[in-house]
Structure 1
């Protein structure tokens, strides 16, 4: 009976689940290719935010060894790298979207190795609010662009932003798995 049930799952249910899981749409309000990237970036952001929901201060700052990063530092680093690509894609005026303190923090957070010890004692909501503000600015700017601009100028950059965030999402999951029990 167990074998029959496993066969049922593998043959009938799994293909339906995996087909749906691989569906990527274009977000409405954007040109088609930009909308696809927005869909993927937002899906990944949702996973990152969800994975950090409810972290306490110890968990936000936890490093499982001296070379490891904290989740708080990683979130700010993700925002910092996205801002760097905003400037590359949209122009230096993107600095004007951030308060002076945010600009300094984001510039410092590009290099995780030098900032991981400094980025502590802030609640996870602090880091997430900056991350979400950065993404809001990205989405606003992408909405003002078209697919012609995208394919000639920036699709490679935003693919890298997504790839970078996916790598650090894996790191966040690893850190959480190493929390002391």
Structure 2
């Protein structure tokens, strides 16, 4: 986080990978700032019966990143065990509301950190040409790894906006 306001090279990573990580780091920093000091009750708060809680959104952010690790590095979909762990957070909705609650902030931050540390380890194993590899993506379209990983933090930024809105309602 040393160069938080710079999209730049990062030691130990290929140049474009480092720049991607720079963007991911800033997105994560702003997400963490948005949830600072929230207690379990606040993390479980629902704006309405169909909404997602801040806690569920945080676990969703970790789940999406994990799913992209599996997809882009391991070339597979989540197995049954992984779906049991991450499925409610990936899908959110009713199952997420039922299963993702009662956790303190440390629980969510630990999950985010564990997943991110694995992402960083995986990124250190590839070169910039890996970003250009294309694969089938949404609705039988082609996308490259660069776009897929852009989508990981773009999704986080989107949900961070939701988190900020929920927090504002909750604390007003």
Tell me if both proteins adopt one fold, taking TM over 0.5 as the criterion.
yes
1:169 aligns with 2:152: no
Shift of 1:151: 1.8
Q: Which runs of 5+ in 1 are unaligned?
A: 1-20
* d(CA) in 2 for partners of 1:133, 1:95: 17
Partner of 2:106: 125
**Pairwise CA RMSD:** 2.3
Question: What is the DSSP-based 3-state SS (H/G/I as helix, E as strand, rest coil) of the residue aligned with 1:63?
Answer: coil
1:179 aligns with 2:132: no
Larger gyration radius, structure 1 or structure 2 = 1
CA contact (8 A) 2:88 2:100 kept: no
* d(CA) in 1 for partners of 2:31, 2:73: 25
CA contact (8 A) 2:5 2:26 kept: no
CA contact (8 A) 1:26 1:37 kept: no
The 5-angstrom pairing of residues 92-103 of structure 1 reads none
Which has more helix, going by share of residues?
Answer: 1
Shift in alpha-carbon separation, 1:76–1:101, aligned structure 2, 3 A: farther
Partner of 1:85: 68
TM-score normalised over the length of structure 1: 0.79
CA contact (8 A) 2:67 2:78 kept: no
Shift in alpha-carbon separation, 1:155–1:126, aligned structure 2, 3 A: same
Which has more strand, going by share of residues?
Answer: 2
Partner of 2:86: 106
CA contact (8 A) 1:86 1:94 kept: no
* d(CA) in 1 for partners of 2:148, 2:28: 17
Q: Which runs of 5+ in 2 are unaligned?
A: 135-144
